Amino acid sequence: MTEKIKYDGNRLFVEEIPAAELAAKYGTPLYVYSSEQIKDNFRRLRKAFGIVPGARILYALKANSNPELLGLISSLGAGADTVSAGEIFLALKAGFPPSSISLAGVGKTDRDIDFALARDIGVIIVESDEELGVISERAAALGRTARILLRINPDVDARTHPHISTGLKENKFGININEAGETVKRALRSKSIDLLGVHSHIGSQVTEHAPFEEAADSIREFVIRIQKEGANIRQIDLGGGIGVRYRNALKHSLLPAERKEEPLIDLNLLAKAIKDRLSFPGCEIAIEPGRYIVAESGVLLTKVLYRKESAGRTFIVVDAGMNDMMRHALYSAYHQIIPVELNDSAYSPADVVGPVCETTDAFALQRELPVLRRGDTLAIMTVGAYGYSISSNYNSRPKPAEILVEKDYARVVRDRETFEDLI
């Protein structure tokens, strides 16, 4: 539940600043983040995983790579999980130590690999036998040794949305756990490869413990097997995926309660399960959360442009579109949508849609909403992760500004794009 974005009376606040003031000052659509919420989320993770010897938390940049947010997260002591040379570049600029950075990704280009080797980042995560060959060649050519983890596909059902499930054998990610033996031998033979350990990431927005435990069990067995073949395992990375609660992000007597609230992972239990299964002498354990650290910190403020009744259906047309926040269009993802100023009007179902010329350009279908009029400001909740980072200029729409709030101080951490930026 979002703690730093909340109602005071009937007015929505981001930390100590009314959301309506931010919308009036900076315009809409507008991404606003609470720095305190990010800090709280990170500290909660660090506290829970403190029981795991050698635990490291690598922030998954893909969730939100705003440079100022990265600076904040690196200052908290996180490492960085990246998937491209661009993300390595941003992580280094934000102050993450090179040794704390990992590079994953099923389709790394030679440029990505060379960039990672030249910057001497912590590890490269290998996703196929052929890729191992390429990394080994590139490292030899550059006179370096590539520290690697093998990404294992454990064939575990993360029980999340199929588009964000990554640990099933039919998914493109990692090396099938039953077919990885030859790749391990090859890695151990290569003079330009140092096989540090094993990686796995089963999916995103995971809200149950069992999939993590099943993955950890498979990895444990795999590690024991390859240790017997001579592998010196010094790192295990269990990936990201810890889910957050999108429904009932905020509760208020004037808001309808949302049904099918997501269960939440108990971080202490998860940390214990990981510790029990994956503690090996001299071996660090990493996790790579993205969503958990930033999702609840962000809100997208948008203004109602029109209210439209058509064939018995009500459409609330807002000034944010799927280009600004794709999650509903991509995965039918649920986000709570609330007025920044609550009143006691009656609620009735409406579709909240954007201006983009696609039928999927919507944020909610048949959602219970109060009577809304042109000019009202709405807050789309829990958009700090996979919000701005998946945005685009589709329909030649300049991207929104991003604002970071620290108590009663707000600052622009990314300017609103102008038409010139579209060229």
Residue numbers at the binding site for ligand PLP (CB under 6 A): 60, 62-63, 81, 104, 166, 201, 204-205, 239-242, 288-292, 385
Residue number with CB closer to ligand PLP (77 or 349): 77
Provide, rounded to whole angstroms, the least separation between the CB of residue 172 and ligand PLP: 11
Residue number with CB closer to ligand PLP (235 or 302): 235
Provide, rounded to whole angstroms, the least separation between the CB of residue 165 and ligand PLP: 10
Max alpha carbon distance in the chain (Å)? Answer: 70
Provide, rounded to whole angstroms, the least separation between the CB of residue 237 and ligand PLP: 8
Residue number with CB closer to ligand PLP (15 or 288): 288
Provide, rounded to whole angstroms, the least separation between the CB of residue 288 and ligand PLP: 4
Residue number with CB closer to ligand PLP (45 or 338): 45
The two tokens of residue 282 are 């001299």
Can you give the three-state secondary structure of the chain, one letter per residue?
CCCCEEEECCEEEECCEEHHHHHHHHCCCEEEEEHHHHHHHHHHHHHHHCCCCCEEEEEEHHHCCCHHHHHHHHHCCCEEEECCHHHHHHHHHCCCCHHHEEECCCCCCHHHHHHHHHCCCCEEEECCHHHHHHHHHHHHHCCCCEEEEEEEECCCCCCCCHHHECCCCCCCCCEECCCCHHHHHHHHHCCCEEEEEEECCCECCECCCHHHHHHHHHHHHHHHHHHHCCCCCCEEECCCCECCCCCCCCCCCCCCCCCCCCCCCCHHHHHHHHHHHHCCCCCEEEECCCHHHHHHHEEEEEEEEEEEEECCEEEEEECCCCCCCCHHHHHCCCCCEEECECCCCCEEEEEEECCCCCCCCEEEEEEEEECCCCCCEEEEECCCCCCHHHCCCHHHCCCCEEEEEECCEEEEEECCCCHHHHC
Catalytic-residue membership of 357: yes
Residue number with CB closer to ligand PLP (147 or 397): 147
Residue number with CB closer to ligand PLP (145 or 389): 389
Q: Which of 9, 311, 344, 357 is catalytic?
A: 357
Provide, rounded to whole angstroms, the least separation between the CB of residue 314 and ligand PLP: 34
Residue number with CB closer to ligand PLP (62 or 367): 62
Residue 126 · residue 200 · CB < 8 Å: no
Provide, rounded to whole angstroms, the least separation between the CB of residue 295 and ligand PLP: 8
Provide, rounded to whole angstroms, the least separation between the CB of residue 366 and ligand PLP: 27
Query: Which residues carry out catalysis?
Result: 357
